[in-house]
Every structure is written in structure tokens, then in C-alpha cells.
Structure 1
Amino acid sequence: MNNPLILRERAETEAARLPALLARAEHLAGTVLLGEHGRRRAGLGDDFWQYRPAQIGDSSRMIDHRRSAMGDVQFVREREWQIAQSVMLWVDQGASMRFTSDANYPEKSDRARVLALATAILLIRGGERVGLTGTSLPPRRGSDQVLRLAEAFSIDANEDYAAPEHRAMIPHARALFISDFLGDMADVKLALTKAADRGVSGVLLQVLDPSEEAFPFRGRTIFESVGGTLSHETLKANDLRDRYLERLASRKAELEQLTRATGWRLGLHHTGDSAQSALLWLYRALDGGTT
């Protein structure tokens, strides 16, 4: 049986992380908003679809003033292309993402969560619906949705490598998956294949610690998984370097081939690099840009 005191301590720890995550994501999104002037995306068509009451998160330019003048409620004139304005997020919260090799670098999970939440803030401010893959948090607009996303991102998973969620994919929507993608590739293939079958396009962002690219280890070294389930000791870590780098290159090539086959885009981010440049790339990649 779970100890209530331990559960309470864990809950308070998670709650304390939430304001900091929101503040950093808001700040990061703000740095990108300074140089962006809205989402100029043509969409699927410009035909009128329906009027709906204005919601929190709708910009003033979306208001149809002629229709709104007929009563006390403000209405938004939705066009056909806006039906597809849903973006679904999946952020790997497995134990492997809690790795960092240096106190000067954030954990992979921390960078992934901040990037995902900042992306959601930008998209929602642009009038889009954002949610999680699966059934726990469907895409919605508004500042309340940002808070719900932050709460969801603040929960760690127990397994070493989390599998991408592919249930309840909205047809013809877009998606963003952020992970180190060092786990079972069969799970990633299944998720992207299911997404492609439903016309979902999107972006994979691989987040790695600089040491995972350089493999700087020498001599006697004990390698342990963050979750503590795997351990390997070697007296000559440098002898493993070439084989490790070959496998990492093979994994990257596999991801590239998979995204190309399913119509997705693949990005790579190191936790020692600028989060702002990664966010700007994500923002444009989800918009179909090539920058």
C-alpha cells in the first residue's frame, strides 16, 4: 500500500515544479513572439464553415463584428481550414529523459517539457487547439489549457523508456513528439504509422545530452540507467566508444528514414544548446516551413 506521507511529499514536489515550468515556458515563448508576426498559413481552404461564440484565447482579429453586432455575444467566423487546427503533443517522461551529464546542462526531460509547453503557448496564442495524444487531454484553446498541459508534463513515468502515445489521433491534425528516442524503435514506428494512416503529419524532436553524442568516458566506468534497472561496468570504457557511436548513428538514420516515409520532419537538439533556437525551429516546422 502506498504511504500517504510519501504520496503527499511527491504531490507537493510536483506542485512546486509547476509555477517554475510555466514561468520558463512563458518567458521562452515571449522571446520568439518578439520576432514573429502571426501564423501566415493558407490551410485547407478559405470557405466559410460556421460561426461560434468567441472563446478565451481567440485574438481580436478573429471576431466577426457584423455578426457580433446582432446581439450581446461576440462571434468568430471559422473557415474550413480552421477545422484542422489541432496540434497533439507527446513528451517522453521516461526515466532516461532525467539524465544530465553536467550541472550546467538541464535534464533532457526539463528541456523537452519547456520546449513543448512554450510551443503550445505560441500555438494557442495563434488561435490553434493544442492537447495531448491519447484520450487524457483533447486539444483545446485558452490559457486554462496551458495550465493543464503544464500539469501533465510535470508527471514522471516509472519506466526507463516511455512509448509514444498513438491513440485517439485526430484525422489530418498535426503532432509533436519530443524524446531522446533511445528506446524500442518498434514503438516509434507503430505510433508514426498509425498517425500517417489517419493523415496526421508532424515533427519528431530528438533531445540528447552532449555526452550522449561525444561519449567522453575513459577507463573504469559504471554505466547505470537513470531508473536503476540496468547497470554495466567496464574497465576500458574507451573501447566501447566506436561501437556506441555507430549504434547512435544507426538510430539517427533509422529515425530519418521513418520520418521521411511517413511525411514527418526530424529535428535534433542538444541540451547544451539554445532553447530559443530549438523553439523557433519547432514553431516553423509545425507550420510547414523549411527554416
Structure 2
Amino acid sequence: MGKRREHALCAFCLTADYFLTKLHDMLSKDAPLSDPTALARFGKLDVVTRLVVEGFMMGQHKSPFKGASVEFVEHRQYYPGDEIRHIDWRAYGKTGKYYVKEFEEETNLRCYLLLDCSGSMAYAGKTLSKFDYAKQLAAALGYLLLSQRDAVGLITFDSKRRDFIQPSANPKNFGQMLEILENAKPRHETAISTVLSEVQPLIKRRSLVVLISDCFDEPEALTTTLKQLRHDRHEVLLFQVVAPEEEEFPFSKPTQFRSLELRGHHQLVDPHQLRARYLEQYQEFCATLARQCGSVHVDYLKFRTTDPYHLALGAFLNQRTRPGRK
């Protein structure tokens, strides 16, 4: 019985080693990890989230929040059932054996992920929609923070607050977040500043607030509510998610434009007459948003739906770990 159990364990170890090697080889090629639209074809949100974050962590070769939310203790040999994200790939490269990093259980950071689920986020163009990109980014950020033993929560909204999960470092809590993200649909109008004012009293402890949105709201009103969050000593980071078509306006033939938030609102326009004016106003809108965020010490990052997720994760870590943060 003992030998049979030992053989079974060895077979399981070999299978796990094979899977880890294949996963490492696939992720090392950076394809299709660099293409959000191709990644979406993998199916469920949890699968894509793991691929994105595990690939990103392998590229880091270290705990991105080392010395902040977790404290490294020691290495030990990998055993079946250990989390893949804790494998030290640098040690594997030197020894040919799998070792995992052990960390002290600490939770210094509480993060609220705020996801815009309004109708304008449904725009897709030739890529995946802004909403699909945004919810995958939210899931990846949550998984990354959870892997560092940080507490992560979720708030979804459109014209009003929808789902609300308090921050927790419990994986079951993250499972609930993934389920909400998987089933969420973009609809209704946008009211970012109104929702932020409603959410502010619910965030009682000092936290990191990450807003993911296309930011189609009045910049002045949005900045006012972001300033209130900063006044409460929260760190605030704004991810603006845009479609390439919104930045380039590549239309050449008369096109029917319809509102994704107001039913029945549509208009036929000649793109040649509209393009220059549209691009000027759009660029001014983004510049104003970035400038006003800077004035209230809110970190502002803009990403297209074609940008690899690892760029957004890297920018997030750079903002979190840079010296002199207020």
C-alpha cells in the first residue's frame, strides 16, 4: 500500500512538473499574452486572469511588493498543491528544481476596485469591448494583490452603485468577485462623480481606490469627488480605458453613430467634416482629465483595449512603489 501510494505521488509530481514546464514555456513566448482580444478566446475570466498574472509575475522574477505587503522568509521545495505563483523561476533556472517562496502573512493594503459598467463601456470596434478589457484588468489587479496577501474588494456601478464586496484577503472572497465580473453587463448611463460621492462614506479605513472607466463624465465633477477621496487620505489611481477608434476616428464613409447609454439617440454624420473637430475635443478632454488628476495627486493612466495587460500591471506597480508617494 505504501509503495502504491508512493508511485501515485511520484506520477502526480511528474504531471505537475510537466504542466509547470509547459506553462512556463508558453508564457515565456509572450504570445498571445500581448493580445487582449486573443486572450479573451481562452474563455472564462479566471483562466485568462491566471495566465495574465502568472506570466507577468514570471517576468518580474521577484515579489513586486517585497518589503511592503509581504515579507519573504525562505525557500522550500515545491510540493503538489502549492500555488504556482509562489514558484521562484530564477531558482529553477539555476538548479533545475522547483522551489517556492514562503512569505509572512501580512495585510498592509486594502484595495477597492471600482469598475464602470455603464453603456459606453460596451463599445468594441475591431477589438474586444472596453468593458471586457476593463473587467479583465480588474480581475488581474485583484489576483495580483491577493497573491501578495493584500485585501481586495469590488464595487461595480453605472448611474448608481450595483455590486459591493468589502476588501478581503480570503480567496473565497476573490471567487465571488470573479463571479460578479463574469456576469456583469454594461448598461445604463454614466454617473461616476455621483457614485463616488455615494461610495466615499463606505470606505472607512485608509485604502487604495482604483477606478477603471472610460471616464465619460464631466472632468470637473469627477475631479471634485476624487479630491474628496484624497482628503480622506486614500490613495487613488484612475485607469482610463479607451478604444483605438475613439483616439483615431478612422471612419471615412457616412456613418450612423448611436448612443450606447441613451436609447433611440443616433445620428448620421460625414466623418470628413467631423474628424478634425472631434479629435481636437477628445484630446483636450483627456489632457484636462490628466491635468486635473495631477492637481489633486491622483495617479492617471490611460490604456487602449489593444494594450497588453502586463503593461497596465507594470504601470500599476510602478505607481505603487515609486518613492515620494503622498
> Which residue is 2:307 aligned to?
273
Task: Give the stretch that moved more between structures: 35-44 or 134-143.
Answer: 35-44
> Which residue is 1:23 aligned to?
47
Q: Is 2:171 the partner of 1:129?
A: no
The question of whether the paired residues in 2 share the 8 Å contact of 1:223 and 1:231 is answered with yes
TM-score relative to the length of structure 1: 0.74
> Which residue is 2:167 aligned to?
139
> Which residue is 2:89 aligned to?
none
1:199-238 pair list within 5 angstroms: 199-227=233-261, 229=263, 230-234=265-269, 236-238=270-272
1:39-118 pair list within 5 angstroms: 39-40=64-65, 60-62=102-104, 76=105, 82-83=107-108, 85-102=109-126, 105-118=127-140
Amino acid at match of 1:161: T
Q: CA deviation at 1:96?
A: 0.8
The question of whether the paired residues in 2 share the 8 Å contact of 1:174 and 1:286 is answered with no
TM-score relative to the length of structure 2: 0.66
SS of aligned partner of 1:39: coil
Aligned residues with identical type, % of pairs:
21
The separation in 2 between residues aligned to 1:279 and 1:181, in whole angstroms, is 20
1:38 aligned to which of 63, 67, 75: 63
The separation in 2 between residues aligned to 1:88 and 1:258, in whole angstroms, is 22
Task: Give the stretch that moved more between structures: 23-32 or 225-234.
Answer: 225-234
- Would the alpha carbon gap of residues 39 and 276 (structure 1) be closer, same or farther in structure 2, given more than 3 Å must change? closer
- Would the alpha carbon gap of residues 195 and 268 (structure 1) be closer, same or farther in structure 2, given more than 3 Å must change? same
The separation in 1 between residues aligned to 2:58 and 2:149, in whole angstroms, is 17
- Would the alpha carbon gap of residues 178 and 260 (structure 1) be closer, same or farther in structure 2, given more than 3 Å must change? same
The separation in 2 between residues aligned to 1:176 and 1:227, in whole angstroms, is 23
Q: CA deviation at 1:221?
A: 1.4
Higher helix proportion (structure 1 or 2): 2
The separation in 2 between residues aligned to 1:38 and 1:23, in whole angstroms, is 21
The question of whether the paired residues in 1 share the 8 Å contact of 2:120 and 2:186 is answered with no
Long gaps (5+) in structure 2: 1-40, 72-82, 87-100, 156-160
The separation in 1 between residues aligned to 2:319 and 2:177, in whole angstroms, is 21
The separation in 2 between residues aligned to 1:189 and 1:151, in whole angstroms, is 31
> Which residue is 1:67 aligned to?
none
The question of whether the paired residues in 1 share the 8 Å contact of 2:64 and 2:317 is answered with no
User: Across the two proteins, how many residue pairs are aligned to each other?
Assistant: 242
The question of whether the paired residues in 2 share the 8 Å contact of 1:129 and 1:141 is answered with yes
Amino acid at match of 1:203: L
Q: Is 2:141 the partner of 1:119?
A: yes
The separation in 1 between residues aligned to 2:153 and 2:233, in whole angstroms, is 17
Q: CA deviation at 1:180?
A: 0.9
The separation in 1 between residues aligned to 2:153 and 2:125, in whole angstroms, is 31
> Which residue is 1:160 aligned to?
189
> Which residue is 1:10 aligned to?
none
The question of whether the paired residues in 2 share the 8 Å contact of 1:90 and 1:178 is answered with yes
The separation in 2 between residues aligned to 1:101 and 1:269, in whole angstroms, is 15
